[in-house]
Amino acid sequence: MRVKVSHLTVTFGAKTAPVTALRDVSFETGENEFVTFIGPSGCGKTTLLRAVAGLVAPRTGHVERLPAPADRNQQLLLVFQEDSVFPWMTVLDNATFGLRMQAVPAAEREARARVLLDRFGLAGRERAYPHQLSLGMKQRVAVIRCFLSDPAVMLMDEPFAALDAQTRMTLQQELLSLWEQSPKTVVFVTHDIEEAILLSDRVVVLDGPPGAIVHEIRIPFARPRRPALVLDAEFLELKRTIWSRLTPLTNRHAGVA
């Protein structure tokens, strides 16, 4: 499935004093493309994801889901930065929630979940509750649930931002591996340039408020991508290029001359 956003404008607040969060944003994903949005705080990245998910109503413009003939479903799922799991459910129940909603038999959904729980280092935690887990573990459960649900489109709002560097690297690689095995359209939000390059087919730079697209960068690296790619000269040069485009935006927002 592809996502097409056309001339999207989103405002909040009273009609007498509205605040424009996004203004005239247009983009289209490719089939199974991994697109990442990056930009300074307050530029509307999260609002854009919520609008694509249908959680925020646009003032003008619209969002379309364009299914391919082979698409099994048109489901779209959003993974938040944190608090993406149900606190009253166990790890296993959280992981299999989407499958249960799809009426997958209990034995099958548990077997499928255990494979990913083991792969993500959560074997033995199946009966634990979220309050017994670290933030990194909870985010692993959220990603597992999303992939098990097999949506046509995954929306991910800085899912690894609050994690330590080592855990973040581990989950980036697991996400890449799962996505390469089961490609789907992903719209991802991050503040981290390195993460954006490593994961994405295309990086889109937002400025704002109000949020607007100011740059698009096609990522040239073949897949699968190894962790050591971040040390390659071409990777570092691309990182500098994106940084040079972001720095004036970030400085302006921070009031730096």
Structural domain spans, the chain = 1-75+154-244, 82-150
pLDDT in tens, the chain (257 residues): 889 999 999 998 877 778 899 999 999 999 899 999 999 888 889 999 999 998 988 999 999 988 876 666 678 888 887 667 889 999 999 999 988 888 888 999 899 999 889 888 888 899 999 999 888 888 888 888 988 888 889 999 988 887 788 888 888 888 888 888 888 899 999 989 999 999 999 999 998 788 899 999 999 999 888 888 999 999 999 999 999 888 666 555 555 44
Q: Give residues with Cβ within 8 angstroms of 43, minimum separation 6.
A: 206, 207, 208, 209, 211, 249, 253
Torsion of CA 179, 183, 187, 189, to 10 degrees: 10
Instruction: Report the pLDDT value the prediction gives residue 251, as an integer from 0 to 100.
Output: 55
Q: Give residues with Cβ within 8 angstroms of 231, minimum separation 6.
A: none
178 touches 115 (CB < 8 A): no
> b/e string for 158-196 if b means 16 or more Cβ within 10 A?
bbbeebeeebbbbbbbbbbebbeeeebbbbbbbebbbbb
Instruction: Report the pLDDT value the prediction gives residue 249, as an integer from 0 to 100.
Output: 60
Instruction: Report the pLDDT value the prediction gives residue 175, as an integer from 0 to 100.
Output: 86
Question: How would you classify the pairing of strands 153-157 and 34-38?
Answer: unpaired
CATH number corresponding to 1-75+154-244? 3.40.50.300
C-alpha distances (whole Å) from 57 to each of 168, 186, 211 are 32, 21, 15
Give me the residue label for tokens 């503040």: 191
Q: What is the pTM of this model?
A: 0.88
Residue type, 231: L
Instruction: Report the pLDDT value the prediction gives residue 79, as an integer from 0 to 100.
Output: 85
Instruction: Report the pLDDT value the prediction gives residue 70, as an integer from 0 to 100.
Output: 66
148 touches 113 (CB < 8 A): yes
Q: Supply the DSSP symbol for 162.
A: T
E strands, 107-164, in order: 153-157
Residue type, 163: L
Instruction: Report the pLDDT value the prediction gives residue 256, as an integer from 0 to 100.
Output: 46
Instruction: Report the pLDDT value the prediction gives residue 257, as an integer from 0 to 100.
Output: 44
Nearest 5°: the CA angle 147, 151, 155 is: 85
